[in-house]
Amino acid sequence: MLRVGLTGGIASGKSEVSRRLAALGAAVLDADKAAREVVAPGTPGLARVVDAFGPGVLASDGSLDRPGLGKIVFGDEAARAKLNGIIHPLVHAYMRAAEERAIADGGASAVIVHDIPLLAEGGQARSSGFDLILVVDVPPELQVERLVRQRGMTAEDATARMAAQATREQRLAIADIVIDNSGPLGGLDSRVKEVWADLRARAEASARH
């Protein structure tokens, strides 16, 4: 088995890499999906968020109003820490259970990819226990361009969102393998296939020992 951490800054194309690895045969565990599931309506996680931030964080249908909650915690370090203290342990437990299922399905040679947007933040990478960390990398100016073009942000909003994440240098510092996604998708396809072949070889070698 090979445990891989996958990360990248906003608009780096990490999701494109994740989808390609899944199509090639990786068991991809999505931390963003886990973060949504642990605060779905009726969950203890949602109840704890409401207790911490008030019923105003609920949408009219009883689900979490993510944009509204984002406005509360964005730029407020104490509020963000409080939210992370609720969400992170729940996400870790969800991901552990998902990994156990993936191991049961894939056996000793499984390649399990944890798709974690904020892996470079808060020293998570050092304590993660991953065999390898993949970082999807693009220049910051391309991140801004994509956020403006694809998500309709202003350049100022895009820069602020990027500033709330780890820097490019911090992400590259934790990387065992870097996937450059600054070019066309055809080039990304080729690079991901190269990386996948490497991951498969490592997983099979691990299974033999």
Per-residue pLDDT of the chain (209 residues; tens, 9 = 90+): 899 999 999 999 999 999 999 999 999 999 889 999 999 999 999 999 999 999 999 999 999 999 899 888 877 889 989 998 999 899 989 988 998 898 888 777 889 999 998 899 867 666 678 999 999 999 999 999 999 999 999 999 999 889 889 999 999 999 999 999 998 888 899 999 999 999 999 999 888 87
**CATH homologous superfamily of domain 2-208?**
P-loop containing nucleotide triphosphate hydrolases (3.40.50.300)
Give ∠ CA 60-66-72 in degrees, rounded to 5. 105
Kindly list the distances between the CA atom of residue 192 and the CA atoms of 4, 23, 185, 204, in Å, as whole numbers in the listed order: 14, 11, 10, 18
Beta-carbon contacts of residue 95 (< 8 Å; ≥ 6 apart): 29, 31, 34, 114
Look up tokens 């490019």; give the residue.
Answer: 168
Q: Cα Rg for the chain, rounded, in angstroms?
A: 18
- Output the pLDDT for position 83: 94
Q: Which amino acid is at 200?
A: R
Contact 120, 171 (CB under 8 A): yes
Residues 121 and 165 sit within 8 Å (Cβ to Cβ): yes
Provide the residue ranges of all domains of the chain, joining segments of one domain with +. 2-208
Total residues found in the chain within this entry? 209
DSSP bridge pairs for 114: 5, 29
